[in-house]
């Protein structure tokens, strides 16, 4: 189980693959569910050149670890990886990656879906977009 918050560019698929390859429990994995969220170069039909992702460091780490713990209570997850970027982000960069491993597909799929929804609406991160006409705080998430 890992939670990583980083201000560095990351390759989500590489991190997920590497995590699985290094897991001592890999022989128990029957299903892997993943979610990767990336930065778009538009929002509300307006161009977005760059983004700064702010967070509340101590609370964010604690909250993501709590989500991971709660997911394990709800579903028979064997392993889990949550990676979230902060700081300056460019279009097409990965912002978040979540992977859940379980013996069977339903647990992995449901846990991964639950984790990204909980993260988006409760973990203390905030996006500020750089647009041609100035910087704008994102005020709410999209519905899905």
Partner 1 sequence: MSIQVKFFASLREQVGLSDITIEQASTAAEVWDLATSKQQQPDNLLVAINLEYAKLNSPVNDGDEVAFFPPVTGG
131 lies in the site for partner 1, by CB under 8 A: no
Q: Which of 23, 34, 37, 91 binds partner 1 (CB under 8 A)?
A: 37
Residue 16 lies near partner 1 (rule: CB under 8 A): no
Question: CB of residue 26 vs partner 1: minimum separation in angstroms?
Answer: 27
Output 50 or 103, the one with its CB closest to partner 1: 50
Residue 96 lies near partner 1 (rule: CB under 8 A): yes
Note whether 55 binds partner 1 by CB under 8 A.
yes
Contact 50, 90 (CB under 8 A): yes
Residue 144 CA, chain-centre distance (Å), reads 14
How does strand 77-85 pair with strand 31-38?
A: unpaired
- Choice between 54 and 93, CB closer to partner 1: 54
Closer to partner 1 by Cβ: residue 95 or 107: 95
């Amino acid at each position: 189980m890992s939670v990583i918050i980083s201000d560095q560019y990351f390759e989500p698929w590489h991190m997920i693959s590497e995590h699985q390859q290094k897991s001592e429990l890999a022989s128990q994995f029957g299903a892997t569910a993943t979610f990767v969220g990336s930065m778009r170069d538009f929002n509300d039909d307006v161009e977005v050149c760059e983004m700064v992702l702010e967070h509340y460091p101590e609370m964010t780490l604690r909250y993501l670890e709590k989500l991971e713990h709660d997911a394990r209570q709800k579903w028979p997850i064997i392993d889990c990886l949550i990676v979230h970027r902060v700081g300056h982000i460019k279009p097409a960069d990965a912002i978040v990656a979540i992977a859940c491993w379980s013996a069977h597909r339903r647990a992995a799929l449901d846990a991964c879906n639950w984790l990204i929804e909980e993260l988006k609406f409760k973990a203390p991160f905030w996006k500020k977009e750089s647009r041609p006409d100035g910087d704008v705080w994102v005020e709410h998430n999209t519905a899905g």
